[in-house]
Amino acid sequence: MKVMMIDDEKAMHIIMKRMLSKIGEVEIVGAFQDTETAFSFLQNEEVDIVFVDISMPKESGLDFAKRLREIHPQIKLVFVTSHKEYALSAFDVYAYDYMIKPISQQRIEETVKRALAEEQVDSGESLPPLIEPLTNREEEIMALIGQGLTNKQIAKTFELTEGTVKNHLVNIFGKLQVKNRVQAI
């Protein structure tokens, strides 16, 4: 599996390279500090997964993702960022995963192994398991979403804030690999 990274912090390149090098079947084909150079690289090279930060100089990771989707809709985009608040926007550009820094070796391995398993599915093998199962609360929230309740109504039902409900939705969407309520249901 060919992987590349885009992060303006050199330290993240070192961390990601160490983590990815511990995973079999991964070949790091590029590491970039800006989206423009990375985009040029992707016009001539085949890549399976792009790990990209959201907060980048000149062009955000989200804007980069929108441009990338126009020419390479099949590339798996994994956002690796310090910003929780962009998770829903990331899934609007069909993010494959969304990781909050600092990331763990286990988390990055799960994402890469899921991607590898999906490649096997495309060749006729069985579906991969979820990254992790839904929690009881996430299942309860999904049941209420299925009944058509809004975030505000769900928050009131469980005596939570709307922000907490939104965080649960981000987790649910990530685990189910969907980008909205309809797909989740």
Q: Taking 80 as the threshold, does the pLDDT of residue 42 lie above it?
A: yes
Regarding whether 59 and 104 lie in a shared domain, the answer is: yes
Q: Would you tell me how many other CB atoms lie within 10 Å of the CB of residue 12?
A: 20
Q: Look at residues 39, 40, 41, 31 and name the one whose alpha carbon lies nearest to residue 8.
A: 31
Is 88 part of any domain?
yes
Number of structural domains the chain divides into: 2
Regarding whether 102 and 29 lie in a shared domain, the answer is: yes
Could you read off the pLDDT of 122-131 as tens digits, one per residue?
Answer: 555 445 555 6
Within 13 A of 15's CA, how many CA atoms are on the CB side?
Answer: 15
Could you read off the pLDDT of 51-61 as tens digits, one per residue?
Answer: 999 999 899 99
Regarding whether 98 and 31 lie in a shared domain, the answer is: yes
Report which listed range, 145-149, 156-160, 161-165, is most confident. Answer: 156-160
Confidence at residue 183, expressed as pLDDT on a 0 to 100 scale = 77
Regarding whether 169 and 92 lie in a shared domain, the answer is: no
Is 177 part of any domain?
yes
Could you read off the pLDDT of 50-86 as tens digits, one per residue?
Answer: 999 999 989 999 999 999 988 888 899 999 999 888 8
Is 99 part of any domain?
yes
Which residue range(s) make up the domain with 78? 2-122
